[in-house]
Amino acid sequence: MSSLVGQRVWLVGASSGIGAALAEELHERGAIVAVSARRADRLDELSRGRFATVPVDVTDHDAVLEGARQVGETIGPIDTVVWCAGYWHTFDATDWQAEEFARHVEVNLLGLGHVIDATVPEMVARGRGHLVGVASVAGYRGLSGAEAYAATKSAQITLLESMRASLSAKGVRVTTVCPGFVRTEMTESNSFPMPFIIDADEAAREIADGLESGRPEIVFPWPMAVTMKLARLLPVRAWTALSSRLAGRS
């Protein structure tokens, strides 16, 4: 078990949803928390003087570098950085939206890269640290209607897995978090069924428990974890037929 007490945590993407709930949970478990997101007013509402707040647009590389510097000055060297920012807009290949696809890549993938650049080199230099990336079970298989989202989440999973192998000998741990459906602002407008959906507070507890137990991969809730891991084993034709049927395209 690895205690969170006294750990200096920078949580990026904390203005709502899982990120906001996780900031509360980590604080309750004794972590020293700094939170970032674009919406400064939401950060202030969340913090109520308990967390350091550093507004950051993750798509702006220079702003992320400056944000990391400010966090370091405020709470000290970052022990753990948690990527929890994300963008979701549903569209599919029958009505391709190039600008929306680019936005997914800018936030979900390039944004993560900016945060990695701002934190991991220093961790490597110190010989210790922890990179935590919140991806999604949507990254396990291609999903109709989530072409952009699933693609960027799959890329996050693979990136973090690759970094885990690269950093394991450098004293830097890497944890991949793959939630299923969680009740947040991002999912409240979804019109399709969301099986096994949980509240953000429950998601935050799952993540914090996983961090304390030292798991390299945290996937929840368990029924969705089992479902999507089994889905990865299906042959391509079987998955195509199933996902097409689920999307109402057959």
The angle subtended at Cα 23 by Cα 21 and Cα 26, nearest 5°, is: 110
Give the span between the Cα atoms of 18 and 131, in whole angstroms.
17
Cβ–Cβ < 8 Å for 68, 10 = yes
The catalytic position among 83, 87, 140, 149 is 149
Amino acid at 198: I
Q: Which ranges constitute the DSSP H helices of the chain?
A: 17-28, 40-47, 61-75, 98-104, 111-126, 147-167, 200-213, 222-231, 236-246
User: What pairing do the DSSP bridges indicate for beta strands 32-36 and 8-12?
Assistant: parallel
Q: Quick check: bond before 121 cis, omega within 30?
A: no
Give the span between the Cα atoms of 206 and 21, in whole angstroms.
11
Cβ–Cβ < 8 Å for 58, 39 = no
Give the span between the Cα atoms of 179 and 164, in whole angstroms.
19
Distances (CA, A) of 47 to 33, 43, 243: 9, 6, 41
**Residue 140 a catalytic site member:** no
Which residues are designated catalytic?
Answer: 149
